[in-house]
């Protein structure tokens, strides 16, 4: 899915998300000395900012109690929309979703979130207008507005944002303070544009040199070093008040198949998973990561069913929830990727992802079919009302923790112009590069 074009390093994506994405044709959401950190290195923030428990439960509970079943189901979905403004009429939106503008798609499906790609981006003022317009279109609950801004190979907003080195370059510095500072600066720029969720950092340990999809998107091949870098990046995003997502659970680092086009099989034993793949995810959870993204990979020693992890209850609920104790949002990788579409149709994929433990259904290949399938599963009792409420509560809690459950954030074009590609951020990028 990833292809470099030109010297500017822009990416052309067959819209998928993991480096994930959704795009015009469909696009995803998948060693050196220690450098001195910049003076502005943020103070560590180990958890997402929490409201007082009673106030948080009250706000989340009130929002949940006002929702119909249709609105709750809509909260689970984060598709890619087409257009550079909320009221842009697009034949792509009409063909895919039965509604011409992003605003109408949001209203029709009561969406909980939207993911942005390069085709949504023309300029700073335009993106600020787009994100503000999208928020105004969501009448029930403010939106999660996400993107894949890993930096390096996967940087959806690269046309506007500082060109920070990717994870491999940061990992090579062996300096977690730099990972934290880059994540903080990246989050500050995203928030200035109205983006409140980043599908980063990559928590995979890239132990296979033939890996076609992770490679230099990972901080390295040493589990302990990757874990330190991931934890630092999570804290950096937390300091910027942008939600972070560790990906791709249970670990996409040892594969020679791209899950955008095939279904990788990881042959690690459970002991190898504990030693190689698990440490960065444990570190992310310990640092207060907001979300964890699943991988479209088969991991037979963790689940012999040979379903991809995205559809595996033993992996998402058994390992991630129960063994690692993760209480935040579980996001699927992009559901338009071939790795998850080998065995089931687009409606059944969405239902099985929820039953496995996923909360956020990213970029379904067929949103109308997926939405109706989940709604029908709730009405039939296949997905219990309690199970639906668990996911919606987690999504609402993330929004509450990041400060925009009750009132939608409003981006400011002048502030964005000041923050994006600031002198301070360009100095930080140069420091890491050196």
Cα(238)–Cα(10) distance, rounded to whole angstroms? 27
282 contacts 240 by C-beta, under 8 angstroms: no
Catalytic residue flag (residue 333): yes
Cα(25)–Cα(6) distance, rounded to whole angstroms? 21
The single-letter DSSP state of residue 44 is P
Q: Which of 110, 248, 252, 260 is catalytic?
A: 260
Catalytic residue flag (residue 260): yes
Cα(364)–Cα(269) distance, rounded to whole angstroms? 31
Q: Which of 177, 198, 303, 333 is catalytic?
A: 333
Residues sharing a CB contact under 8 Å with residue 17, sequence separation 6 or more, in sequence order: 27, 28, 29, 30, 115, 148, 199, 333, 334, 337, 362, 363
What are the residues facing 12 on neighbouring strands? 3
Distance in Å from the first CA to the final CA of the chain: 29
Pure H helices in 213-308 = 223-240, 270-272, 278-286
What are the residues facing 84 on neighbouring strands? none
Nearest to 231 by CA among 173, 176, 168, 295: 176
Q: How many C-beta atoms lie closer than 10 Å to residue 34's C-beta?
A: 11
- Distances in Å between the Cα of 321 and the Cα atoms of 13, 71, 292, 314 are 32, 25, 11, 10
Active site positions, annotated: 260, 333
């Amino acid at each position: 899915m990833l292809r470099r074009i030109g010297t500017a390093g822009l990416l052309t994506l067959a819209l998928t998300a993991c480096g994930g994405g959704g795009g015009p044709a469909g696009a995803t959401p998948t060693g050196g000395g220690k450098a001195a950190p910049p003076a502005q290195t943020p103070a560590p923030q180990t958890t997402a900012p929490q409201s007082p428990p009673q106030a948080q439960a009250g706000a989340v509970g009130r929002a949940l109690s006002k929702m119909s079943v249709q609105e709750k189901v809509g909260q689970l979905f984060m598709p890619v929309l087409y257009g550079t403004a909320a009221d842009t009429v697009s034949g792509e939106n009409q063909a895919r979703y039965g509604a011409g503008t992003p605003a109408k798609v949001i209203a029709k499906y009561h969406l909980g979130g939207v993911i942005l790609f390069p085709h949504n981006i023309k300029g700073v003022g335009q993106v600020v207008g787009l994100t503000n317009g999208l928020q105004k279109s969501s009448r029930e609950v403010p939106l999660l507005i996400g993107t894949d801004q890993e930096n390096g190979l996967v940087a959806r907003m690269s046309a506007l944002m500082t060109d920070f080195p990717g994870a491999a370059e940061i990992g090579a510095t062996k300096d977690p303070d730099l990972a934290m500072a880059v994540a903080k600066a990246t989050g500050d720029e995203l928030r200035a544009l109205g983006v409140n969720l980043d599908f980063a950092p990559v928590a995979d340990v890239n132990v296979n040199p033939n890996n076609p999809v992770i490679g230099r998107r990972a901080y390295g091949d040493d589990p302990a070093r990757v874990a330190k870098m991931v934890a630092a990046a999570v804290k950096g995003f937390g300091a910027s008040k942008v939600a972070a997502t560790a990906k791709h659970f249970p670990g996409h680092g040892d594969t020679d198949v791209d899950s955008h086009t095939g279904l990788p099989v990881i042959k690690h034993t459970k002991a190898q998973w504990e030693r190689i793949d698990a440490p960065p995810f444990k570190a992310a959870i310990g640092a207060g990561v907001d979300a964890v993204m699943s991988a479209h990979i088969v991991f037979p020693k963790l689940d012999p069913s040979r379903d991809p992890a995205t559809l595996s209850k033993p992996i998402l609920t058994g390992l991630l929830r129960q063994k690692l104790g993760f209480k935040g949002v579980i996001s699927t990788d992009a559901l338009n990727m071939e790795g998850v579409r080998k065995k089931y149709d687009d409606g059944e994929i969405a239902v099985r992802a929820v039953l496995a433990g996923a909360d956020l259904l990213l970029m379904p290949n067929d949103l109308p079919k997926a939405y109706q399938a989940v709604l029908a599963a709730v009405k039939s009792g296949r997905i219990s009302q309690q199970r639906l409420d668990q996911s919606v509560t987690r999504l609402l809690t993330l929004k509450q923790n990041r400060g925009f459950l009750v009132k939608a954030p409003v981006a400011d074009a002048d502030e964005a112009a000041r923050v994006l590609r600031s002198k301070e951020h360009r100095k930080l990028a140069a420091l890491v590069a050196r």
